[in-house]
Chain A
Amino acid sequence: GAVVSQHPSRVICKSGTSVKIECRSLDFQATTMFWYRQFPKQSLMLMATSNEGSKATYEQGVEKDKFLINHASLTLSTLTVTSAHPEDSSFYICSARQTGATYEQYFGPGTRLTVT
């Protein structure tokens, strides 16, 4: 089956620093990737949709200057949390949709970000 990886799986950073999270589709090409955020015991909230080679589309209320998304290739999308603060601590999950797929969408294992 299709595999999506995320790196790192867990990261701790200091307030004010930036952290980059990578999302890779390992065995398929993904024109579209999605970034979600999940707080404990809550649902997944879509942050943005990224398409290879174009600007990401952000959901309402998500600061595009704070959460920078780059989808530079058909197998890699990155999320950079800039000037992180403790309230940015969360579980970030990416998802990739295979190019040409009707409905399949595969999720990465998630990245747990803790900002101290």
Chain B
Amino acid sequence: AQKITQTQPGMFVQEKEAVTLDCTYDTSDPSYGLFWYKQPSSGEMIFLIYQGSYDQQNATEGRYSLNFQKARKSANLVISASQLGDSAMYFCAMREVYTGANSKLTFGKGITLSVRP
């Protein structure tokens, strides 16, 4: 079963506007972590933000915030004040904690974001 679902087609946003990238997940593990990574055309994976399943507050990192809705199993990434450099592919990922030290990151298929000037 797919554990991370990213279904949006390519997203477009006007520079300086906010954009939300959707991510839903599926797990029976009560303890898990959710991640968002950015992958520009150069290929490097850039860590953006992390949300633990027991975190009471939504994670924020600068212009990035994670809208964590545990009951709905969604972990949407919100990018405020978009910049041209935000154009990239964005991946949502999950790690289930109880699988041990080798617990793996499972990635969604990604969303391409294009920022228009």
Q: How far does the alpha carbon of A110 sit from the alpha carbon of B50 in the complex, in Å?
A: 22
**Interface residue? B91 (CB, 8 A):** yes
Binds B, one of A18-26, A69-77, A100-108: A100-108
Contact A44 B91 (CB under 8 A): yes
Supposing A57-B102, A103-B50 touch, asked if A42 and B109 sit within 8 A by C-beta, the answer is yes
Contact at A34–B101, with CB atoms within 8 Å?
A: no
Nearest chain B CB to A8's CB is how many angstroms away? 13
Residues of chain A with a CB closer than 8 A to B35's CB: 103
Please state if A106 and B105 are interface contacts (CB–CB under 8 Å).
Answer: no
Give the chain B neighbours of A42 by CB distance below 8 A.
109-110
Task: Point out the residues of chain B lying under 8 angstroms from A93, CB to CB.
Answer: 43, 45
Residues of B within 8 A of A103 (CB): 33, 35, 50, 52, 95
B97 to chain A, nearest CB (A): 8
Asked if B91 and A43 make an inter-chain contact with CB atoms under 8 angstroms apart, the answer reads yes
Write the chain B residue with the least CB distance to A103.
B33
Task: Return the CB mask of A15-43 against B: 1 if under 8 Å, else 0.
Answer: 00000000000000001101000100111
Count of residues in B whose CB is under 8 Å from the partner chain: 23
Would B43 and A112 count as touching, CB distance under 8 A? yes
A33 → B minimal CB distance (Å): 11
| C-alpha spacing A66/B101, complex, angstroms | 26
Pick the contact of B109: A34, A43, A107 (CB < 8 A). A43
The CA-CA distance from A57 to B35 in the complex, in Å, is 23
B104→A46 contact, CB < 8 A: yes
Given contact pairs A42-B109, A43-B110, A103-B33, A49 touches B43 in the complex (Cβ within 8 A): no
A95: chain B residues at CB < 8 Å are: 45, 105
Q: Are B107 and A43 in contact (CB under 8 A)?
A: yes
Given contacts A41-B112, A109-B43, 4 further A-B pairs with CB under 8 A are A43-B91, A105-B105, A107-B47, A108-B44
